[in-house]
Every structure is written in C-alpha cells, then in structure tokens.
Structure 1
Amino acid sequence: MTRLSVNVNKIAVLRNSRGGRDPDVVRAARACLDAGAHGITVHPRPDARHIRADDVRALARVTAARAVEFNIEGNPFAPPRDGYPGLLALCEETRPAQVTLVPDGDAQLTSDHGFDFARERDALIPLVAAFHALGCRVSLFADAGADIEAARASGADRIELYTGPWAEAFDSGTPETALPAFVTTARQARAAGLGVNAGHDLSQANLGALLAALGGIDEVSIGHALIGEALYDGLDTTVRRYLAITEAAAPRV
C-alpha cells in the first residue's frame, strides 16, 4: 500500500506570516498522525521561509516517539547560514528515516524540477553515502523521463517523481499527455531496484488516477493541497480522505 506522508510546511508559512507560535506546526503534525498519516515531511530551506531548524528538531521528537517516518527534504549542496546548519548537519542531529534530496534554490518559489542525474551523479555519490552513514534512506527528486541508470549509480534507495507536470495536465483536462512518461520512469526505477515515491501538487482530485496508473508507489508526500483542503474540512477529515484514496487505488503494473 502507498504510504502517506503529510508535508506541514504550509502550517509554518501561515505561522511565520504573523510571527509567534500559531498555528502550531507540532500540533498540526500530531493531528495528521492521529488521523492515520504514516509520516511527516518537512522541507527546511536555508532562508527559513517556512519550516525552521527548531521545527525540524521538535518534529523529530514527535515522530520518534510515535515510531513513524520522518522525511526531511532539502538541497544537499546549499551551504549553511545563520539559523540553518545545512541539510547533512540537520539530519545528523535529527536522524530522519528518510532524506529526500532536491535541487532547489532560494530563488525558486517551490521545487520545480528534479536532478540532472547524468551531470550531477558524481557529486551526489558522496552525499548519498554520507546520509546512508546516518542511517537515512535516500530518495532523489526526479523528473519523469530522468536518467534512471545514473540515479541508481548514485547509490540512492528511491526516486521521488516530481508530479507538477502531472497535476498541470490533469487540471487542463489532458492527463494522457503527461502520464506515459511517469509510467515509464516508475517502471524503469523499479526494474533498477529503486523504490518510487511521488510528490508535488498532488490532490484529492488527481491522486487516485496517478496511483492506479503507476502501480507500486511506495510513498506520496502531500502538503499544499492537503493543507488547503483542510481549511474547509479539517485536518482529520482531509487526511482520512487521502488515506481512503491510497487504499482504494488499484495498481496496474
């Protein structure tokens, strides 16, 4: 069954817009886990635009106490700065079950592409090994159509398919234009011995069709749409609806 990890970045965005502690990221994470979510995802950025290092530490304690997965996303090449010790140092301190490496920068509003594995494989190899030494499973953000053999050669355990193009095609009424590349890439990854995660712009509307088509997706991390939907229906109800979608998806491989 596909596991659901809830990304709580948007809770931090709302909190940071006003200052103080409300809404409480830890309380929101606990509500998601109470509803049955399998894990929590965060993507701390060096500019601390949403999740901060202290949030990561607090959420690491919550997920450890509940024995659920903690997934930290981030750019392993981004240097430390005030308030941000760097992705490797943060993972050394908090020991997440999974780290998802993402090639994003401060100028990006959100993650919008995967690694160029043929070009960046050699630079990724020692980083993947360093995260493995901390006991982390390593997933690499990947575009549909990515060079899977180069991704495998990095030593990573999984890829996470960047599903923004799928969501755009689905919203435009032409999902068939995007789906074949995702299906092919997922199959290639599994054939290479890599697990397959997926994330970005997934929603209640488009998730079921993607899971049914791809088959064998290990995990989806969902934040923006889920938190937005929860404004109307509440976190508990919304998380349970996503879990119903993952449980109902009938993979065809």
Structure 2
Amino acid sequence: MTIALSVNLNKIALIRNSREGNYPNVVDFGKRCLDGGAQGLTVHPRPDGRHIRPHDIHALRTLVSDYPGTEFNIEGNPFAPAQGDYPGLLALVEHTRPHQCTLVPDSDSQLTSDHGFDLTQHRQQIQPIVAKLKALSVRSSLFMDPVIEQIALCADIGGDRIELYTGPFAAAHQAQSTTLNSLLETYQQAAKAAHALGLGVNAGHDLNLNNMPMFKQVPHLAEVSIGHAFTVDSLLMGIEHTLKAYLDICA
C-alpha cells in the first residue's frame, strides 16, 4: 500500500518570517510540492505565529482545492487560546474545512511537539472536539504515543485516525540504539491495534530519508507528515529530487 506523503510547510514559513516580505513564498513552495506528486500539505499553526500564520492557511486551502485527490491537514493544540490574528485551532478549521485536523498536545513553551495525548486525563475535554470535527465533516487524527491502551481510548471517543509520534524511533535510529528493533516492534503492535479498532494510522516527527525505509515496516500506514527533514533535504538536493526520494520510499 502506498503511504501518502504530506509535506509540512512550517519550516518554509519560519525562513520567510526571519525577514520582512514574503520570501520564500509558502504557497509557491506548496504548489511545487503538489506539482511534484506530494499527496498533501500539512501546517501546524501556533498562537505565537512563529511560522505558519492564519493567512497562509486560507491560501493553502485554496491551493489544495485545485489538486483533486490531495489533502490539507491542519495540526495544532485545540486548547491554545486565540492570540493576535490567531483565532484558535477550531476557528481555523471551521473557516477553512481541511480534509484532516490533527490534534496535538503542544504548547508555546515547547520547541516542537514531543509527546502524545494522555486520554486517561484528557478524554472529557477531547471527546466533544472530536465530535465537532465530525460534524464539520473533517477527519480527526490524534497525536499519540505507541501505547495500545491510549489508542483504544482514542477509538472509544470516536477518533478517525491516530498520528504516531515517531520522535523516539527517530532518536533511536540516529543513535543506532540496541533498543531500536524492539522499539520498532512497539510501533508495529500499536499500528496493528489501531487498525483492528477501525482507526487509520498516520505517523510523523523527525522521519527522514535515513529512517523511513525501516519505519515503513510498520503496517497500515496511511500517511506520513514530514517537514523539517524535507526542508533540509531540499536545500541539499533541490525540491524535485527530494520529492522523488521521499515518494520512492513511500511507494
């Protein structure tokens, strides 16, 4: 089964935001990704506007609509308050109706996302948000650690997919840790459990050209979201060669 590649554009926006103006143009970069065969685009806005901003999201949603069969995925913390021109995650979702909304338990104090939801603590708060996304005809995905008991709770509250947080796998792969194979098996078992519960399986965080060939051994993967490594590889190889390299692995 082909794994869909959704290119995360946050780091392109971060480069743009380091100067006045609109260079590099996030929408133009997204268009080149879609023209090159990417199956989707991902954005992860934060209230502090450090990278992707609300006007980007509206423009990118319009762009994706010109590419039938591709998908737009908005990630973020549903509990993060509105700030400045950031209206809140659910307001952005309601205004733009992405194909998928990935709920992530991050905060402005985090450099990047670094853990999945603990639904034993946050089920009551997350369940109505999942229901609201369903009412908007937006697929829900919850950012989760590979813990089967937590994944079962995701199914209980009506989630459509999980996104496996792959940071620990990527770190173990880079270090060539002795625990790498057993960690991979943990992800494999988590994905099998999710599939058995009727959940789709996405994955993301620090996946790259070096570790993806191993991680793709995880069954039932529907989509991977890759941004940081994709941006770095594009600087080294050019975007067309980078797209081909990732798409070849995902095929």
Match for residue 237 of structure 2? Answer: 233
Secondary structure, aligned partner of 1:140: strand
The letter of the residue matching 2:223 is E
2:158 to 141, 155, 169: 155
Q: Deviations over 1:142-192 (max 9, x none)?
A: 011251211111211000000000000000112224212211111111111
Q: Which moved more, 1:198-207 or 1:130-139?
A: 130-139
Deviation above 4 Å: which 4+ runs of structure 1? none
1:40-99 CA-to-partner distances (Å, cap 9, x unmatched) read 000000110000000000000000121220000000111212110111110111110000
Q: Which amino acid aligns with 1:110?
A: T
State the match for 1:96 in structure 2.
98
Does structure 2 retain, via aligned residues, the 8 Å contact 1:145–1:184?
no
Determine the C-alpha separation between the residues in 2 that align with 1:148 and 1:51.
29
Q: 1:220 aligns with which of 214, 217, 224?
A: 224
Q: How does 1:121-160 map to 2 (within 5 A)?
A: 121-146=123-148, 147-160=150-163
How far apart are the structure 2 equivalents of 1:112 and 1:178? 17
Q: Percent identity between the aligned chains? A: 51
Separation in 2 of the partners of 1:61 and 1:134?
Answer: 18
Matches within 5 A, 1:1-253: 1-67=2-68, 68-146=70-148, 147-174=150-177, 175-212=180-217, 214-247=218-251
* Distance in 2, Cα, partners of 1:76 & 1:69: 20
Distance 1:178 1:17 in 2: 37
Q: CA deviation at 1:122?
A: 1.6
The letter of the residue matching 1:207 is M
CA distance in 1, matches of 2:36, 2:203: 21
TM-score (norm 2): 0.96
- TM-score using structure 1 length: 0.95
Structure 2 distance, partners of 1:129, 1:207, is 33
Rounded to whole Å, the distance in 1 between the matches of 2:222 and 2:41 is 15
Equivalent position amino acid for 2:63 in 1: V
Computed over aligned residues only, the root mean square deviation of the Cα atoms, in angstroms, reads: 0.9
Task: State the alpha-carbon separation in 1 of the partners of residues 20 and 145 from structure 2.
Answer: 35
SS for the counterpart of 1:238 is helix
Deviation at 1:19, TM superposition (A): 2.2
Distance across 2 between alignment mates of 1:204 and 1:64? 28
Residues paired across the two proteins, number: 246
Asked if 2 retains the 8 angstrom alpha-carbon contact of 1:4 and 1:38, the reply is: yes
Contact 1:207-1:245 at 8 Å conserved across structures: yes
Query: Alignment partner of 1:73: what SS?
Result: strand
Equivalent in the alignment of 1:251: none
Q: 1:123-159: per-residue Cα shift (whole Å, max 9, x none)?
A: 1110001111111000000011251211111211000
Instruction: For residue 237 of structure 1, report the CA deviation from its aligned partner.
Output: 1.1
Q: Which runs of 5+ in 1 are unaligned?
A: 248-253
CA distance in 1, matches of 2:120, 2:140: 18
Structure 2: 5+ residue stretches without partners: none
- Separation (CA, whole Å) in 2 of partners of 1:154 and 1:223: 29
